[in-house]
Structure 1
């Protein structure tokens, strides 16, 4: 997920210009929407994993160039949702963008969670739960650093953009030449996801205006899910 820079509308106040109470209300709305998006993801994912034809299709697409097509479709849906959420002040369109992104995340997660549930030996739910707990702990800790210190992490944008380009190149090369990217790559992606959380939370504090809590929640949810994907991947590889 590429870091998104948001330019607030002149029709609304920037968060750095409002009272503490207004800012706190914005934060509550934003993280409330992140929680709702996460709950919706769990519900949609549970439904999708019960649709055998969809599961079989997604598993069949995980090899070689077919997965590249899936990733391309996912990136297109992601970019469209983020653009829509950050460039419109129509709440209906913002919520549609968030819904689109949650569904896209649920679909892309089908193969990984199916393998975690049905193919891993041992207590697979424990593995998923441990990955989820660690993800939430890291997300909460990184968000708290920015919200408490008010530090501006906008300088990370260029580094994150370069990092994601390199990551996509590595994924494409791995699929074309058939090599496993391994734990080092997953660890690197966790670092990228952590940097994205810092960046997105910084945007929340310094760049967003008071009407953009839905768009802000989409960016944070995207970073949360990216972090969860690679933490879960590492837990599964160590099981």
Structure 2
């Protein structure tokens, strides 16, 4: 009897420590995510003010993946924070020309605000599902891996063959992929089953939000014949 009570006490204590750790990761992640999103908005505005019309695709891939690699290499040090802002700032800067192009359309500002609102509501809704239900969404890992491969191949095919319908499918696929990634990452932080580094968690959520916004903006543009 005494053994059972002692074992129960240790289990509850361990659970309490785990919950506190998960809460800390969540708190730090959302704080850093908020700052990086704001910083991206500033750099996007700077690109628009500078009149940048387009970003070379090679520059984009080298900058994006190079800085993401740097974030992963420095995630366990203070330098990781600088790398995180460098990556998100660069991504925001590349968003500037896209927003400028949409603003030239008759309803461009409306499309941007609609996509932004839908992105925000989707992120809040999916995060709430993971946080409130505390359901384990780790089963989505295989879907995300397969989805990433399919989307990359579809993007390459779209660039080679320039098929409008394929672009629509890719945008819709990224909406689903990004939504699943948000559920998965939030679940990982809640259960501490995988991600305990708030810098890496922030980057994952940031990329999901970025892709979600771009994809929704593309879909809205297609549906409005723009």
Normalization by structure 2: what TM-score?
A: 0.81
Q: Contact 2:103/2:109 (CA < 8 Å) preserved in 1?
A: yes
Deviation at 1:78, TM superposition (A): 5.3
Deviation at 1:17, TM superposition (A): 5.7
Q: Contact 1:82/1:219 (CA < 8 Å) preserved in 2?
A: no
Among 138, 161, 168, the residue aligned to 2:152: 168
CA distance in 2, matches of 1:225, 1:115: 17
Residue 97 of structure 2: aligned partner: 111
Deviation at 1:57, TM superposition (A): 4.5
Q: Contact 1:77/1:100 (CA < 8 Å) preserved in 2?
A: no
Deviation at 1:223, TM superposition (A): 0.9
Deviation at 1:217, TM superposition (A): 1.6
What SS does the aligned partner of 2:49 have?
A: coil
The 5 Å alignment of 1:214-225 reads 214-225=199-210
CA RMSD of aligned residues (A): 2.3
Q: Contact 2:45/2:96 (CA < 8 Å) preserved in 1?
A: no
Larger Rg: 2
Moved over 4 A (4+): 19-22
Q: What per-residue deviation string (whole Å, max 9, x for no partner) do you get for residues 112-157 of structure 1?
A: 2121112x113x2222111111101111111111111222222212
CA distance in 1, matches of 2:206, 2:50: 25
Normalization by structure 1: what TM-score?
A: 0.77
Q: What runs of 5+ residues in structure 2 fail to find an aligned partner?
A: 1-13
Q: What runs of 5+ residues in structure 1 fail to find an aligned partner?
A: 1-14, 62-66
Residue 76 of structure 1: aligned partner: 65
Worse-superposed segment, 74-83 or 173-182 = 74-83
Residue 81 of structure 2: aligned partner: 95
Deviation at 1:81, TM superposition (A): 4.1
Structure number with the bigger relative contact order (C-alpha 8 A, sep ≥ 6) is 1
What SS does the aligned partner of 1:56 have?
A: coil
Deviation at 1:197, TM superposition (A): 0.7
| CA pair 224-16 structure 1, distance change in 2 beyond 3 A | farther
CA distance in 2, matches of 1:78, 1:164: 19
The structure with the greater share of residues assigned to helix is 2
